[in-house]
Amino acid sequence: MNPSLFNRMYIYSEIDQTIVDERVAQFREQMQRFLSGQLSPSEFLPLRLQNGLYVQRHAPMLRISVPYGMLSSQQVRMLAHIARHYDKDYGHISTRQNIQFNWIKMEEIPDVLADLASVQMHGIQTSGNCIRNVTSDPYAGVIADEIEDPRLYCEIIRQWATFHPEFAYLPRKFKIAVNASTGSDRVAVQVHDIGVDLVKNAAGEIGFRVLAGGGLGRTPVIGAVMREFVPKIDLLSYLEAILRVYNRYGRRDNKYKARIKILVKALGAEVFAEKVEAEWQKIKEGPLQLTTEKIEAINHRFTYPKYLTLNDHTAELEQLSKQSPGFAHWLQHNTYAHKQAGYIIVNLSLKKIGVAPGDIDSAQLLAVADLADEYSLGEIRTTHQQNIVLADVEQTRVYELWQKLKELGLATATINTLADIICCPGGDFCALANAKSIPIAEAIQRQFDDLDYLYDLGDIELNISGCMNACGHHHVGNIGILGVDKKGQEFYQISVGGASGKNAAIGEILGPSFEQNQVPNIVQKIIDVYVEKRIAGESFLETYQRIGIESFKERVYEKNH
Amino acid sequence: MKKIIKDRHIIEDSWHTLDIAAEQWQSLSATRSIIVPCTLWQSDYMALLAYFQSGVGVALENITEPDTIPALDKIALLTIDFPLFNDGRGYSLARILREQFYYTGELRAVGDVLHDQLFYLARCGFNAFDLKPHVNIEHALLAFNSFSRVYQPASA
């Protein structure tokens, strides 16, 4: 790879590459032992899961790790190759910034992993009861309100967590997210097993506020603050202390009560934090303690953006907006302010009506790789909202980029609106799902296809999960939709008032669930209540917080309507 | 005699695990190498040490709290049981014994111990492995070389 092309990519060291290559060889050998009957299915299960391989409804599903959402154009081309060569020509971006393929043949998985290793990629720890891919802000490094670039710490955590010998057989899966933005939280730190916020203390030192015990699933919980300030050098020892307490005392008798949130609740957050503190005091001075040199050595492996000295072109963009309403809408909704003068952050929407949210085909992947090289320093980011970000676009070229994105079907101007739905693969693909989710998303997008109306409604997060595992984060959607099974029939439970940002909240369930064909209409009624009750400038969430759930309940369960 | 892996070699296991329901330890030969349950060690460790000349081993469950084990430095062998291979508590217990209690004797993984766990077990401080009967023990020796590089510090 040519580092000079990239904005800020971590480039593998000889150690990283050796480990990934040895992993491919190890998994090939494990697969052989499984296929020859030396490994039982139950013994093989965690081994394949820790390489991202699930067995799904139709075929195996391979989840590929995208560390903190960062991809190079070369890596995206390899994903296109995998889609085309091994799969049915498309992939799916998950809420944890990974990409998954649903139709790969089991016996070809070792070859896919070898292809991935050739571009510094893998499926390591993308599933199974281990520490999963660390996620972060898709705007990391390019926004003004950032304490420091969080990706350095994501990478430090990634290395520590990769093949951690003590934590490969945890009670349950374990997810860590890192945020560094002071104004926003695009990574949902409060609903992760561990959430890490970069903070500055009273002395002006940068460190971490660490939360634990958040999560969604059957028992949604907002994480509790374990420590307001963990110094940089102590990051890994503190995380290790949390994991060790969880590994030793987390429940293993019932998989639905095995996440760390259940342990934190059972002990009480304070008692849990005391146990962590006691463990941490024993290990913090040990070999896990970081030094400025160790941090700098990892930082050194990141390439640096080579920004040009440019001026902002606000007036020109306004002029173009006046000439083209389509561009104006897109510019307003799908772009975001860059910290560097003359640049702009661009969101590529994967929410075109008729395409499953987060799906992208090989032709689009190849085109995105080319666009990234041409317009954004060769770098691509995946987002928790299941979209793609080109983070470093020159303002003078953004109109041109928009035209190309339109042709590719990647310029749907609905980012952060009701139509920017987060949605799991659901019953169409997933073996765990109780109900379909993709057709629900599509029906809602069709109901709300008037852009002016959508824009008038403002930012609304609508999330859909096909089952209680909550991969679609329905609990923290402003409107959340959950597929449930009632005597073999697919029904949908709807909640309102959830939020995933700085003020995360779990949504409140309206009441009895609805049939599939009722859902768009029910969402319409919820929106109608908001439009009627809102005070000028109030968002959906703010209106809900002011008026409560009753008005919504009354409307959706009203007779004779 | 049963074969186990110790220090990356296949050896014959000379230890006898006391069946507390069927045997009285006082009736066994004093020259035997014996593994006793942790509860017996906790109550009778001085008598056990005085009686058995070739050392005493102690069998731990993965929920044993290390600070409840007396005279750790007098124990020749500790076993940690893996009731299921995917019950990871034994990994943490091993590291705590090695790194916080400075236990230096033999640390043996017993129970549902399989080929694909050996690399991690060894890194957590286990140096002996009593594999499940169906596992090919010669082939399992290769598992210690799965990775030539590692990212994080551990016991080994």
- Could you read off the pLDDT of A85-129 as tens digits, one per residue? 999 999 999 999 999 998 888 889 999 999 999 999 999 999 999
Q: Are A169 and B87 a contacting pair at CB < 8 A?
A: yes
Residues 6+ positions from A384 with CB-CB distance below 8 Å: A95, A96, A97, A135, A138, A186, A187, A188, A422
Is A214 domain-assigned?
A: yes
What sign does the CA torsion over A61, A64, A70, A71 have? negative
Q: Is the pLDDT of residue A418 over 50?
A: yes
Spell out which residues of chain B touch residue A167, defining contact as CB-CB under 8 Å. 88, 91
With an 8 Å Cβ cutoff, is B136 touching chain A? yes
Average pLDDT over residues A51-63: 83
Q: Coil, strand or helix: which one is B58?
A: strand
What is the number of CB-based contacts under 8 A between chain A and chain B? 86
Listed residues A408, A442, A460: the one ending a domain: A408
Spell out which residues of chain B touch residue A253, defining contact as CB-CB under 8 Å. none
Average pLDDT over residues B112-132: 98
Q: Are A15 and B124 a contacting pair at CB < 8 A?
A: no
Q: Are B148 and A165 a contacting pair at CB < 8 A?
A: no
Report the alpha-carbon distance of residue A131 to residue A173 in Å, rounded.
6
Distance (Å) from the C-alpha of residue A247 to the closest C-alpha of chain B?
6
Looking at every residue in chain A, the average pLDDT score rounds to 94
CA A324 to chain centre: 32
Q: Are A248 and B93 a contacting pair at CB < 8 A?
A: yes
Listed residues A117, A147, A174: the one ending a domain: A117
Report the alpha-carbon distance of residue A51 to residue A78 in Å, rounded.
18
Confidence tier at B152 by pLDDT (50, 70, 90) = very high
Q: Which helix (H) or strand (E) holds B95?
A: helix B89-99
Q: For A118-166, how does the pLDDT look when each residue is reduced to its tens digit (9 = 90+)?
A: 999 999 999 999 999 999 999 999 999 999 999 999 999 999 999 999 9
Closest residue of chain A to B144, computed from CA coordinates: A26
Q: Are A247 and B116 a contacting pair at CB < 8 A?
A: no
Is residue A549 domain-shared with residue A461, that is, in the same domain?
Answer: yes
Reading the block at residue A106, the tokens are 């089991």
Is A308 domain-assigned?
A: no
Is A266 domain-assigned?
A: yes
Instruction: Specify the CATH number for the domain of residue A391.
Output: 3.90.480.20
Among the ranges given (A57-61, A308-312, A380-384, B17-21), the one the predictor scored with the smallest mean pLDDT? A57-61
Q: For A439-450, how does the pLDDT look when each residue is reduced to its tens digit (9 = 90+)?
A: 999 999 999 999
Confidence tier at B20 by pLDDT (50, 70, 90) = confident
Which of B62, B81, B127, B152 would best serve as a mutation to test chain A binding (most A beta carbons within 10 A)? Answer: B152
Q: Are B89 and A164 a contacting pair at CB < 8 A?
A: no
Report the alpha-carbon distance of residue B47 to residue A354 in Å, rounded.
77
- Give A 276-335 residues with CB within 8 A of chain B: 282-283, 286-288
What's the residue count for chain A?
561
Is residue A235 domain-shared with residue A106, that is, in the same domain?
Answer: no
Spell out which residues of chain A touch residue B147, defining contact as CB-CB under 8 Å. 18-19, 22-23, 26, 163
Q: Are B91 and A170 a contacting pair at CB < 8 A?
A: no
Look up the ipTM and state it: 0.97
Residues 6+ positions from A377 with CB-CB distance below 8 Å: A5, A6, A7, A305, A306, A392
Spell out which residues of chain A touch residue B121, defining contact as CB-CB under 8 Å. 165
* Helix, strand, coil percent values for chain B (each to nearest 5): 35, 20, 45
Reading the block at residue B89, the tokens are 């508590």
Is residue A268 domain-shared with residue A162, that is, in the same domain?
Answer: yes
Q: Is the pLDDT of residue A379 over 90?
A: yes
Is A15 domain-assigned?
A: yes
Q: Where are the alpha helices (DSSP H) in A131-234?
A: 151-161
With an 8 Å Cβ cutoff, is B91 touching chain A? yes
Is residue A215 domain-shared with residue A291, that is, in the same domain?
Answer: yes
Spell out which residues of chain B touch residue A49, defining contact as CB-CB under 8 Å. none
Is A123 domain-assigned?
A: no
Is residue A276 domain-shared with residue A339, that is, in the same domain?
Answer: no
Spell out which residues of chain A touch residue B127, defining contact as CB-CB under 8 Å. none
Q: Are A47 and B116 a contacting pair at CB < 8 A?
A: yes
Matching CATH number, B3-145, of 3.60.15.30, 3.20.20.70, 3.40.50.261, 3.30.360.10: 3.20.20.70
Is A127 domain-assigned?
A: no
Closest residue of chain B to A166, computed from CA coordinates: B91
Residues 6+ positions from B8 with CB-CB distance below 8 Å: B141, B144
Q: Is the pLDDT of residue B119 over 80?
A: yes
Spell out which residues of chain B touch residue A166, defining contact as CB-CB under 8 Å. 88, 91-92, 95, 120, 124, 154
CA angle A506, A504, A550 (to 5 degrees): 45
Q: Which helix (H) or strand (E) holds A136?
A: strand A135-136
Q: Where are the domains of chain B?
A: 3-145
Is A129 domain-assigned?
A: no
With an 8 Å Cβ cutoff, is B138 touching chain A? no
Report the alpha-carbon distance of residue A45 to residue A448 in Å, rounded.
42
Percentage of the residues of chain A whose pLDDT score is greater than 70: 98
Q: Are A43 and B120 a contacting pair at CB < 8 A?
A: no
Residues 6+ positions from A150 with CB-CB distance below 8 Å: A68, A136, A137, A140, A178, A179, A180, A198
What sign does the CA torsion over A161, B148, A82, A348 have? positive
Q: For A267-293, how does the pLDDT look when each residue is reduced to its tens digit (9 = 90+)?
A: 999 999 999 999 999 999 999 999 999
Burial A62-92 (b: 16+ CB within 10 A, else e): bbbbbbbbbbbbbbbbbbbbbbbebbeebbb
With an 8 Å Cβ cutoff, is B83 touching chain A? no
Report the alpha-carbon distance of residue A155 to residue A295 in Å, rounded.
10
Report the alpha-carbon distance of residue A29 to residue B144 in Å, rounded.
14
Confidence tier at B1 by pLDDT (50, 70, 90) = confident
Q: Are B85 and A43 a contacting pair at CB < 8 A?
A: yes
Is residue A192 domain-shared with residue A61, that is, in the same domain?
Answer: no
Listed residues A408, A437, A471: the one ending a domain: A408
Is residue A174 domain-shared with residue A287, that is, in the same domain?
Answer: yes
Question: What 8-state DSSP symbol labels residue A210?
Answer: E
Provide the whole-model pTM.
0.95
**What Cα–Cα distance (Å) separates residue A225 from each residue in A49, A198, A272, A499?**
30, 13, 11, 18
Instruction: Specify the CATH number for the domain of residue A99.
Output: 3.30.70
Q: For B50-104, how does the pLDDT look when each residue is reduced to its tens digit (9 = 90+)?
A: 999 989 999 999 999 999 999 999 999 999 999 999 999 999 999 999 999 999 9
> In this complex, which of B92, B123, B149 lies closest to A247 when CB atoms are compared?
B92
* β-strands A70-72, A379-382 pairing: antiparallel
Based on the structure, what is the number of domains in chain A? 4
* β-strands B77-82, A99-101 pairing: unpaired
With an 8 Å Cβ cutoff, is A19 touching chain B? yes
Average pLDDT over residues B16-27: 91
CA A5 to chain centre: 25
Distance (Å) from the C-alpha of residue B26 to the closest C-alpha of chain A?
35
Q: For A385-400, how does the pLDDT look when each residue is reduced to its tens digit (9 = 90+)?
A: 999 999 999 999 999 9
Q: Where are the alpha helices (DSSP H) in A304-437?
A: 314-323, 325-334, 362-375, 398-408
Closest residue of chain B to A160, computed from CA coordinates: B152
Question: Pick from B2, B112, B48, B144: which is nearest to A43 by CA?
Answer: B112
Is A125 domain-assigned?
A: no
Q: Are B151 and A287 a contacting pair at CB < 8 A?
A: no
Spell out which residues of chain A touch residue B120, defining contact as CB-CB under 8 Å. 163, 165-166, 168
- Which structural domain, as residue segments, surrounds residue A352? 314-408
